[in-house]
Chains A and B, each alone.
Chain A
Amino acid sequence: NAGVTQTPKFRVLKTGQSMTLLCAQDMNHEYMYWYRQDPGMGLRLIHYSVGEGTTAKGEVPDGYNVSRLKKQNFLLGLESAAPSQTSVYFCASSYGAAGMYGYTFGSGTRLTVV
């Protein structure tokens, strides 16, 4: 009964380093999303996927790339980390349109770029 699992939970990067955040869901959901949350702000959509092999840009996609090679996994990559990417990152999945079913979220990854 895992739901949505994010790894790692915490990470500190130096400016210019790269990393990949992994999101895995075991609910057979078609839709998956990556969000970032910054202090005093709501969640902002980075990228999303409506099915295996598909990805699309959200509100704040610059500096990030994603891949959905398998239905259950959604990877978020930072090619060259910048201090502005210090944030808490949340992955989510949904069965259908989020309005009707809501999202299931992971517990987040706290990333600090120094």
Chain B
Amino acid sequence: DQQVKQNSPSLSVQEGRISILNCDYTNSMFDYFLWYKKYPAEGPTFLISISSIKDKNEDGRFTVFLNKSAKHLSLHIVPSQPGDSAVYFCAAYSNYQLIWGAGTKLIIKP
């Protein structure tokens, strides 16, 4: 029973355009939602988070949107750059535990 789902295993986007990564969850009790970025042979790197009481959080080129009624969040990257090519994980936090999605591999095409 996956509580956090990333339904797109991969996504290809042209450099300079917007990348939109999606995540769905099932548990209404999550307190925070986070996005991590991972390069091969490295650990995940924290990108941005959002509290369950907010619907948007922005940090530079990265914006996370939370739709509680749909139990859906998304990460927007504008504009997309070659260095953004990586695997992106969505995670949800509750009670000392992070529940992770399976990840979406983002490929930025030149």
Contact = CB atoms under 8 A, between A and B. Distances in A.
Interface string A77-112: 000000000000010100001111111111110000
Interface of B: 4, 31-34, 36, 41-46, 49, 51, 89, 91, 93, 96-103
B96 A42 contact: no
Interface string A26-61: 000001000000001111110010100000101100
Contact of B102 (A4, A42, A48, A108): A42
Nearest to A40: B102
A48 B97 CA distance: 9
B50 to A, nearest CB: 9
B98 A107 contact: no
Contacts of A45: 97-98
A99 B31 contact: yes
Instruction: Name the 9 nearest CB pairs between A and B, nearest first.
Output: A99-B32, A105-B43, A42-B100, A102-B46, A99-B93, A43-B100, A42-B102, A105-B44, A42-B101
B8 to A, nearest CB: 13
Contacts of B49: 99-100, 102
Given A43-B89, A108-B41, 10 more contacts: A31-B96, A42-B91, A42-B101, A42-B103, A58-B97, A97-B32, A98-B98, A100-B32, A100-B49, A102-B49
A99 B48 CA distance: 10
Contacts of A103: 44, 46, 98
Contacts of B51: 99
Nearest to B100: A42
B34 A108 contact: no
B45 to A, nearest CB: 7
Residue among A41, A102, A105 having the largest count of chain B Cβ atoms under 10 Å: A102
Residue among A44, A50, A98, A108 having the largest count of chain B Cβ atoms under 10 Å: A98
Given A59-B97, A98-B93, A99-B31, A92 B102 contact: no
A8 to B, nearest CB: 14
Contacts of A105: 43-45
Contacts of B93: 97-99
